[in-house]
């Protein structure tokens, strides 16, 4: 495997292998590190604490990502390559595995205070999320295209839900917004076509349009 690594940052991959294991000790995977590569699966060690948003841009054959932990996604997640289906560009996220297990249920740790932009964007098999009481904000596009997300518990610590936070969560059928939430930004639930019930708090100050 041919990696370009500089001071703990994986800058690029120039190999032809389709199943890739990132070397232990890498701390950051930079933008475009795997751009246009033939990679179909990638294993990421626990030493990685940051994956820049466009690390897998145009990696259209990527089917699986294997993580030792998902903390590297919480501050800022990824934008996945698109493919054309019936003449329409659509998101093409890979399956995510944590310690060898398909990520269907996530519990946000107690030491996390914010779910960052695009954190779980495209985690298409994710069904259930439990958020700790210390989280104050759900970031932009945090759960976009989590097509199977059906259950999410929003604690009474969340103050704001950013734009597109749950967009295209097409299996989400109900959600309860706690009293702590003061702001819901525009399109937070855009494309949630199964959403039948949403409970809003009395103290909510603003819902953007």
- pLDDT value at residue 209: 66
- pLDDT value at residue 201: 84
Q: Are residues 126 and 84 in the same domain?
A: no
What domain range is 62 assigned to?
1-98
Q: Are residues 175 and 198 in the same domain?
A: yes
pLDDT greater than 90 at residue 67: yes
DSSP secondary structure, the chain, as one string = --EEEETTEEEEE----SEEEPPTT--EE-TTTTTT---SEEEE-TT--EE-TTTTTT-TT--EEEES-SHHHHSB--PPPEEEETTEEEE-PPEEEETTEE--EEE--TT--EE-BTTTTT-TT--EEE--TT--EE-TTTTTT-TT--EEE--TT--EE-TTTTTT-TT--EEE--TT--EE-TTTTTT-TT--EEE--TT--EE--
- 53: confidence class by pLDDT, cuts 50, 70, 90: confident
- pLDDT value at residue 92: 67
The tally of domains found in the chain comes to 2
Q: Are residues 5 and 66 in the same domain?
A: yes
Average pLDDT, the chain: 89
Q: Are residues 109 and 208 in the same domain?
A: yes
pLDDT greater than 80 at residue 78: no
Q: Are residues 6 and 65 in the same domain?
A: yes
Q: Are residues 8 and 92 in the same domain?
A: yes
- 84: confidence class by pLDDT, cuts 50, 70, 90: very low
Q: Are residues 204 and 112 in the same domain?
A: yes
Q: Are residues 17 and 82 in the same domain?
A: yes
Q: Are residues 121 and 91 in the same domain?
A: no
- 133: confidence class by pLDDT, cuts 50, 70, 90: very high
CATH of the domain at 160: 3.80.10.10
pLDDT greater than 70 at residue 81: no
């Amino acid at each position: 495997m041919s990696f370009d690594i500089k001071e703990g940052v994986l800058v690029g991959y120039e190999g032809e292998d389709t199943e890739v294991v990132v070397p232990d000790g890498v701390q950051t995977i930079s933008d475009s590190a795997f751009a246009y590569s033939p990679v179909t699966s990638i294993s990421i060690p626990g030493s990685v604490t940051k994956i820049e948003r466009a690390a897998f841009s145009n990696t259209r054959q990527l089917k699986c990502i294997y993580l030792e932990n998902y903390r590297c996604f919480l501050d800022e997640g990824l934008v996945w390559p698109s493919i054309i289906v019936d003449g329409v560009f659509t998101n093409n996220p890979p399956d995510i595995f944590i310690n060898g297990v398909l990520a269907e249920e996530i519990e946000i740790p107690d030491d996390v205070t914010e779910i960052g932009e695009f954190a779980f964007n495209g985690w298409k098999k994710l069904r259930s999320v439990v958020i700790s009481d210390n989280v104050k904000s759900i970031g932009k596009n945090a759960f976009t295209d989590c097509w199977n997300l059906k259950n999410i518990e929003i604690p009474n610590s969340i103050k704001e839900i950013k734009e597109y936070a749950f967009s295209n969560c097409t299996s989400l059928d109900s959600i309860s917004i706690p009293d702590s939430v003061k702001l819901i930004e525009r399109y937070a639930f855009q494309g949630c076509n199964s959403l039948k019930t949403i409970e809003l708090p009395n103290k909510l100050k603003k819902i953007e349009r």
